[in-house]
Amino acid sequence: MFPRILIIAALCLVARPGVAAMPVLVIHGGAGVIRATLTPEKEKLVRVDMEAALTAGYSVLKSGGSSLDAVTKAILVLENSPRFNAGKGAVFTHDGHNELDSAIMDGATLRAGAVAGVRHVKNPVLLARAVMEKSPHVFLTGAGAEAFAKTVGIELVDPSYFRTDQRWQELQEALKAEAKNQHSALGRAIHYGTVGAVALDKQGHLAAATSTGGMTNKRWGRVGDSPIIGAGTYANAHCAVSATGWGEYYIRTVAAHDICARVEYAKKPIAQAAKEVVMDVIPKLGGDGGVIALDADGNFTTPFNTDGMYRGWVDREGKMHVAILGE
């Protein structure tokens, strides 16, 4: 009897739900053509914003808060900066508007919320989370999403809030190139962007969130991968992913879910799973970009196949890092 009790007790300890020894936070500020436009001044400002986002998110985790709160806090900082293609710094559509998309997912419960095509929501990540927590739905779009925002007290702003000279100039360049048949209306965007965060909290729970302004010069209400659960954003008990890049290809490959499926079902390390999708599956179709991916043990990876990807993390030792190019 005694040995049997010991065996049962030991099994209970081993089978105890995964509890992270230390929390981890990983963020990105978009992948794409970075090197040519990265002046020393811009690099400094970007690094300051990335560090501020990491500090905001990690402070939640360090104090025992949830991974959902951590990714939300981190995304808010990036949405409020004009230097990223999300929130304040969103790119312009062909018609000169800013249309914003966002998604968030709780890996512990598989709850998710997403919004797309909103033009007045200051922080789309807050609206995505409200969809998850305060509605029976997962995905709301356009005017309907903004009508819901009013009912739950999400801050709305005049569209002029999102206008920046840099993004407006990028649209003008894209329109000129299109007029010269260098790019079609559905062609490749000159600049990519998106912001995202994945986190593991002290309870061992994962979460992911992504926010974007989409593609410069996009038309017809185009929606990319960022707000689509499983494509640009996904989290479960094993894995959390936020993607950035040419969204059409992340949608076609269901990239974020594919990475997590390789971790869960094929038992592949997170780094291998993400690399296979980002460096093999997507490029074979003609797409590019990158992801941040984190597993339940706190292992993470940040693969990308573009010129660069703004990315940062606070690891299990609590050390903060920010990287931009291939360093």
Domain ranges of the chain: 18-323
Cβ atoms of 194 and 210 closer than 8 Å: yes
What single letter denotes the amino acid at residue 310? Y
Residue 5 has pLDDT above 50, yes or no: no
- Residue-by-residue DSSP string for 203-272: TS-EEEEEEE---TT--TT---STTSBTTTEEE-SSEEEEEEE-HHHHHHTTHHHHHHHHHHTS---HHH
Of residues 9 and 104, more confidence is placed in 104
pLDDT at 181: 76
How much is the pLDDT for 123? 98
Is the Cα torsion angle 203, 263, 56, 322 positive or negative in sign? Answer: positive
Structure-token match 């079609």, residue found: 184
C-beta of residue 194 within 8 angstroms of C-beta of residue 226: yes
Separation of alpha carbons 168 and 97, rounded Å = 10
| pLDDT score, position 6 | 42
pLDDT per position as a tens digit, 118-167: 999 999 999 999 999 999 999 999 999 999 999 999 999 999 999 999 99
Q: pTM for the full model?
A: 0.91
What does the pLDDT read at residue 316?
95
Region 23-46: mean pLDDT is 91
Instruction: Give the pLDDT score at 326.
Output: 86
Do the Cβ atoms of 205 and 61 come closer than 8 Å?
Answer: no
pLDDT, average across residues 66-82: 98
Does domain 18-323 fall under CATH 3.60.20.30? My reply is yes
Distance CA 94, CA 14 (A): 56
Specify the residue for token string 């959390």: 240
Q: What's the confidence (pLDDT) of residue 34?
A: 76
**DSSP letters spanning 48-79:** HHHHHHHHHHHHHHHTT--HHHHHHHHHHHHH
Residue 52: what pLDDT?
98
Q: Does 7 have pLDDT greater than 60?
A: no
What per-residue confidence (pLDDT) applies to 21?
52
User: How sure is the predictor about 37, in pLDDT bands with cuts at 50, 70 and 90?
Assistant: confident
To the nearest whole number, what is the mean pLDDT of the chain? 91
The rounded distance, in Å, linking the Cα atoms of 217 and 235 is 30
| 290 neighbors 29 (Cβ within 8 angstroms) | no
How big, in percent rounded to 5, are the helix, strand and coil portions of the chain? 40, 25, 40
Q: Cβ contacts of residue 15 below 8 Å, gap of 6+? A: none
pLDDT score for 3: 46
Q: What is the pLDDT of residue 182?
A: 58
> What digits encode the pLDDT tens for the residues 175-232?
999 888 754 444 444 556 899 999 999 999 999 999 999 999 999 999 999 999 999 9
Catalytic residue among 93, 194, 210, 233: 194
Q: 208 forms bridges with which residues in the sheet? A: 105, 198
* Annotated catalytic residue 194: yes
| pLDDT band at 31; cut points 50, 70, 90 | very high
Strand 111-118 with 139-141, pairing: parallel
Predicted pLDDT of residue 184? 47
What angle (nearest 5°) sits at the alpha carbon of residue 326, between those of residues 41 and 90?
Answer: 55
Give yes or no for a contact between 86 and 194, defined as CB atoms under 8 angstroms apart: yes
